[in-house]
Amino acid sequence: MKVMVGLSGGVDSAVAAYLLKKQGYEVVAGFMRNWDAMANGDYLGNPTVNDDQCPQEKDYQDAQKVAEKLGIPLLRVDFIKEYWDHVFSFFISEYECGRTPNPDILCNKYIKFDAFLDFAKKNGCDMIAMGHYAKRIEKDGLYYLMKCKDTNKDQTYFLSQINEEQIKSCLFPLADIDKPEVRKIAHELGLESVMDKKDSTGVCFIGERNFREFLKNYIPAQKGNIVDIDTGKKVGEHRGVYYYTIGQHKGLGIGGISGETATGWFIVKKDAKKNILYVTRGDAQKYLMSNKCIVRKLNFINKDEEFPQKVGVKFRYRQVDHPATINLINGEIVCEYDYYKAVTPGQEAVFYNKEGLMIGSGTIDEVYRDNIRIDK
């Protein structure tokens, strides 16, 4: 079987390629370039804008060295337009609405497991493979994702919007090993270009940015009032509601009031239409805690999943699964749970059953506390 592994120039995908070859697959590699900083106006907040070599080219060179060391061919493909059309444009539009989207989830759905899968098949491959930390299993004729051995690195949250056919078409060689073992294998193989390379961070395929400055490239700064939600009084001025997140308590720039210090302020609400940022220095919990949310844009592996159902829900990456009950009503999921802090519209709610299978996910659209909507 011929498999194309997404070789990113990092250690995880490099070791994934090696393991596939060791298992007897015919392995080819594909390097994706999805962002062009100059063409996309990525100047503000970009720490590499004046570098002699852009990070993507350095990653490509590292991928070339890995492919040469492993003795596998490397193809290169650009999905810059696809990334802009299907990932980044939506990412910006959500911020303009005052929501907090997750570009990594969209990137997996539309680029790595769609455009790249199509590219692999056009180049004669039967399947693709990725260096993600996730486990693929088959149950009752359907393919699911399950948490991998290294639960600290598990990435099923970011893969929650790929469908069953996409899961079926992909191998995850790192499912049963942890990160230290990956580094160890890379050292044993002498993969010098990646074996000690730090993990990529920041926006998917874009990298680390001063995020507030980065957003200014695409959403003009518009100053507005910071209002104490408890008193209705103006306590400061913000530089644009889009640049702040619910629950944030640093970098608010609120000056002292009546001789007091500015410590203890939390953002509890954003009104993008009126350009107002609401804060409190009192009990932030009463504004941030919720016990129900409405989830839309659903992706469930089994279209005949039974409801209501008790699940573990993950509202953010690397958080502990929270017990919840989900019910499908009029094409949307009503998710009820014990009080939880800062459940945020635009983020993903990912559902796991009692066996640890990721059964589905959707985008958080409305948030309630005791049946009173709190996200508006």
CATH classification number, 221-282, choose in 1.10.3720.10, 3.40.50.10490, 2.30.30.280, 2.60.40.10 = 2.30.30.280
Q: Which of 125, 148, 204, 335 is catalytic?
A: 204
Q: Which residues contact 7 (CB under 8 A, 6 or more apart)?
A: 13, 14, 17, 29, 30, 31, 63, 66, 67, 74
- The residue behind tokens 């948030």 is 367
- The residue behind tokens 């999921």 is 333
pLDDT band at 211 (very low <50, low <70, confident <90, very high): confident
Mean pLDDT of 56-80: 96
pLDDT digits (tens, 9 = 90+) for 245-277: 888 888 887 855 444 444 589 999 999 889 999
204 is catalytic: yes
| Of 222, 146, 136, residue with least CA distance to 173 | 136
Q: What is the CATH number of domain 2-212?
A: 3.40.50.620
Strand ordering across the sheet containing 127-129: 74-78, 26-33, 2-6, 127-129, 170-171
Instruction: Flag whether pLDDT at 123 surpasses 90.
Output: yes
Where do the structural domains in the chain lie, given as residue ranges?
A: 2-212, 221-282, 289-373
| CA distance linking residue 292 with residue 201, whole number of Å | 31
| Of 288, 301, 366, residue with least CA distance to 333 | 366
170 is catalytic: no
pTM comes to 0.92
Tell me what pLDDT residue 260 has: 44
Q: Which of 107, 125, 148, 293 is catalytic?
A: 107
Mean pLDDT of 283-292: 90
Mean pLDDT of 226-252: 90
CA-based radius of gyration for the chain: 22
- In CATH terms, the fold of domain 289-373 is Elongation Factor Tu (Ef-tu); domain 3 (2.40.30)
| CA distance linking residue 33 with residue 350, whole number of Å | 28
